[in-house]
Amino acid sequence: MTTRKPLISGNWKMNYTHLDAIAVVQKLTYTLLPADYDRADVSVHPSFTALRSVQTMLDADGIPIALGAQDVHPAESGAFTGEVSPSMLAKLNVRYVIVGHSERREHFGDTDAFVNQKLLAVLKHEMIPILCVGETLAEREAGFIEDKVVGQLEAAFDGVPAQAAEGLVVAYEPIWAIGTGRTASPDDAQAVCKAIRSWLASHYRTDVADKVRVQYGGSVTPTNIAELMAQSDIDGALVGGASLDAEKFAQIVRLGRTAS
Ligand code: PGA
């Protein structure tokens, strides 16, 4: 039985204007109850253009939903047209920053080394990285799951001291399950999440590995969340499509939170 508080995160990707974002958060706050927040941490990750509006709303009404970003550039400032720096996010009270999402790696060329730089930059600004790792279908079929994930972990955690590592979140997201309606079976997801924790234990220490929250991501819905969360090494979910619907996302939080 895990004592780690679940973290349920909604990754909205490139959806919703700042006006839509406010409406969704509003709906979410009508639905979620104090017991939900007590038994799960909840974060929403709107587009950069909606961060300020959502932050203002969360702060003004004292809503215990954490603000998250979907990505960041590792540099402090400079000639990086179109990018957003870690201090820009930190100033908006952003708590969680997704780094190494497979869509960034696939469409925008984020390498393992660049993901490592982003992760270090997020930590430096006292925010919490949600590091995404996961294999493609071809890699799964070739039996290359753990090697792929461990390789991504080795690179991403390079230069991260144990003290910082224990506060991190790792999201296991099999690429073939993202946005496809196909989910890893609870057993398969558990096996990889356990392998992630074992790597953390061997790279750092068992007490560090025990503190890291490992999320599962990939077509999470109200229908499959409970059986995923029943696994001992799954501590939450990174939810894409289903998080766009406030009612569905609230249901996922409720079914994913700890029982008491
Ligand atoms: P999905 O996305 O829930 O739509 O599969 C998950 C993610 O990409 O984080």
**Cα of 241 from ligand 1 centre, angstroms:** 6
Residue from 220, 225, 248 to probe ligand 1 pocket by mutation (most atoms less than 8 Å from CB): 220
Per-residue pLDDT, 260: 61
- Residue 21, classified by CB atoms within 10 Å of its CB into exposed (0-12), middle (13-18) or buried (19+), is buried
Per-residue pLDDT, 3: 82
Residues assigned a catalytic role: 101, 173
Q: Whose CA is nearest to atom 1 of ligand 1?
A: 240
Kindly tell me if the per-residue pLDDT of 2 is higher than 70: no
Dihedral angle, C-alpha 203, 204, 209, 210, nearest 10 °: 150
State the chain's mean pLDDT as an integer. 96
pTM: 0.97
Q: Where are the domains of the chain?
A: 20-259
Kindly tell me if the per-residue pLDDT of 75 is higher than 80: yes
For the segment 128-137, the average pLDDT, to the nearest whole number, is: 97
Residue with tokens 């702060």: 59
Q: 257 pLDDT band (50/70/90 cuts)? A: confident
Kindly tell me if the per-residue pLDDT of 1 is higher than 50: no
Percent of the chain with pLDDT over 70: 99
Ligand 1 pocket by Cβ (under 6 Å): 11, 173, 178-179, 217-220, 238-242
Q: 52 pLDDT band (50/70/90 cuts)? A: very high
pLDDT tens-place string over residues 176-208: 999 999 999 999 999 999 999 999 999 999 999
Residue whose C-alpha is closest to residue 200's, from 235, 237, 176: 235
Per-residue pLDDT, 259: 74
pLDDT tens-place string over residues 84-123: 999 999 999 999 999 999 999 999 999 999 999 999 999 9
Is the domain covering 20-259 a CATH 3.30.390.30 domain? Answer: no
pLDDT tens-place string over residues 208-248: 999 999 999 999 999 999 999 999 999 999 999 999 999 99
Helix 18-31 / helix 246-256 crossing angle, nearest 10 deg = 40
